[in-house]
Amino acid sequence: MTRRDFAFVASGLAAPSPPRSILVHEHVLVDFIGADQIKPGRYDPDEVFRAAKPKLDAIRKFGCVRLLEATPNFLGRDARLMKRLSDATGVDIWINTGIYGAAQHKFVPAFARTETAEQLARRWIEEVRRGVDGVKPRFIKTGVSGAPLDEVDRKLIAAAALTSRETGLTIASHTDAGAAALEEVEIVVAHKVSPAKFVWVHAHSEKDHALHEKFVRTGAWLEFDGLGPKSADWHLECFRWMSQNGFLSQALISHDAGWYRPGEPGGGNYRDYTYLYTDFLARLDPAWIPALLWDNPVRAYGK
Ligand SMILES: [Zn+2]
């Protein structure tokens, strides 16, 4: 025991170190200009770095050692900047490969509309093998609109499944409705990929627990990732429901915060990643915390 520790004990003050944690779905930067107009130079990386660093320093102090940066290619994925921020903050930032189909395919580049699932998968596998600007993607990010899935969305999920089969990476797919999530997991399984390699991103958007239940029974993951003051009660209810029904081992939590926006002064309203630590943890059953903060993220996305 150091003298400082002893002083804390002697004074009756606890100096607990926060449990280490992983945030599975956050953003540094998102550029909504669209796949046909996105290009380098729409923002100053130094300015984004300066805006992001204190936010990442803050979660590092709360014990967060890894953050999965969920911004896909053609929406502002910036591997170089993420590497720089990782090195500067000690938070290991994971980037992704894949293409986001939601929002009427605004973020789907022209080539992806005509190529086959196999051709797209080859591109993504190549990114995983060779890296993107020196950084290896560690998960696959896609996104779909509602059910029934249209042809492009089905193709993107098939390409994600082929990529997962080849690389072992997990697929995280932006999906608002349970019916769409069920269709996706069906496609994944049809490509001989384990449902445990599929994460339903934004599962909290679905208000019907019957659909959560149908989905969770496939063996895939539910990510309740829009955590913040406004959503906290519903998030708590979702985790309670998962726990009461024996499904907590398939639940993930994150804020889906951040969002430096190019084109807006100072990046607009860049949200913190700290609500989980400052407010929400105290509301959770302490027995759930190791699973939600560490074990489930590692089981879902790997080490
Ligand atoms: Zn997101």
In a domain, 182, yes or no: yes
SS3 content of the chain, % helix, strand, coil (to 5): 50, 15, 40
Task: Give me ligand 1 centre to Cα 27, in Å.
Answer: 6
Task: Give me ligand 1 centre to Cα 14, in Å.
Answer: 36
Task: Give me ligand 1 centre to Cα 11, in Å.
Answer: 44
Q: How many CB atoms lie within 10 A of CB 206?
A: 21
pTM exceeds 0.85, yes or no: yes
In a domain, 132, yes or no: yes
Q: In this predicted model, what pLDDT tens digit does every residue of 26-41 receive, in sequence order?
A: 999 999 999 999 998 9
In a domain, 99, yes or no: yes
Burial of 238 (0-12, 13-18, 19+ CB in 10 A): buried
Task: Give me ligand 1 centre to Cα 26, in Å.
Answer: 6
Both tokens of 120, joined, read 């797209």
In a domain, 7, yes or no: no
Number of structural domains in the chain: 1
In a domain, 54, yes or no: yes
Q: How far is CA 23 from the centre of its chain?
A: 7
> Range of 61's domain?
22-301
In a domain, 5, yes or no: no
On the question of a cis peptide bond just before residue 148, with omega within 30 degrees of 0, the verdict is yes
The Cα 215–Cα 133 span in angstroms is 36
What pLDDT, on a 0 to 100 scale, did the predictor assign at position 229?
97
Query: Residue 160 half-sphere exposure, CB side, CA atoms within 13 Å?
Result: 36
Amino acid at 261: R
**CATH code for position 182:** 3.20.20.140
The model's confidence at residue 18, banded by pLDDT at 50, 70 and 90, is: confident
Q: In this predicted model, what pLDDT tens digit does every residue of 242-266 receive, in sequence order?
A: 999 999 999 999 999 999 999 899 8
Task: Give me ligand 1 centre to Cα 245, in Å.
Answer: 27
The answer to whether 237 and 261 are in contact (CB under 8 A) is no
Average pLDDT over residues 280-284: 96
Task: Give me ligand 1 centre to Cα 273, in Å.
Answer: 12
The model's confidence at residue 106, banded by pLDDT at 50, 70 and 90, is: very high
What pLDDT, on a 0 to 100 scale, did the predictor assign at position 12?
57
Burial of 150 (0-12, 13-18, 19+ CB in 10 A): middle
Which residues, including other chains, have CB under 8 Å from residue 93's CB and lie 6 or more apart? 28, 56, 66, 67, 68, 69, 82, 83, 85, 86
Amino acid at 17: S
In a domain, 14, yes or no: no
Largest CA distance in the chain: 69
Q: In this predicted model, what pLDDT tens digit does every residue of 187-231 receive, in sequence order?
A: 999 999 999 999 999 999 999 999 999 999 999 999 999 999 999
In a domain, 147, yes or no: yes
Average pLDDT over residues 292-296: 98
Task: Report the range of poorest mean pLDDT among 1-5, 207-211, 247-251, 280-284.
Answer: 1-5
Nearest to 267 by CA among 95, 27, 68, 40: 27
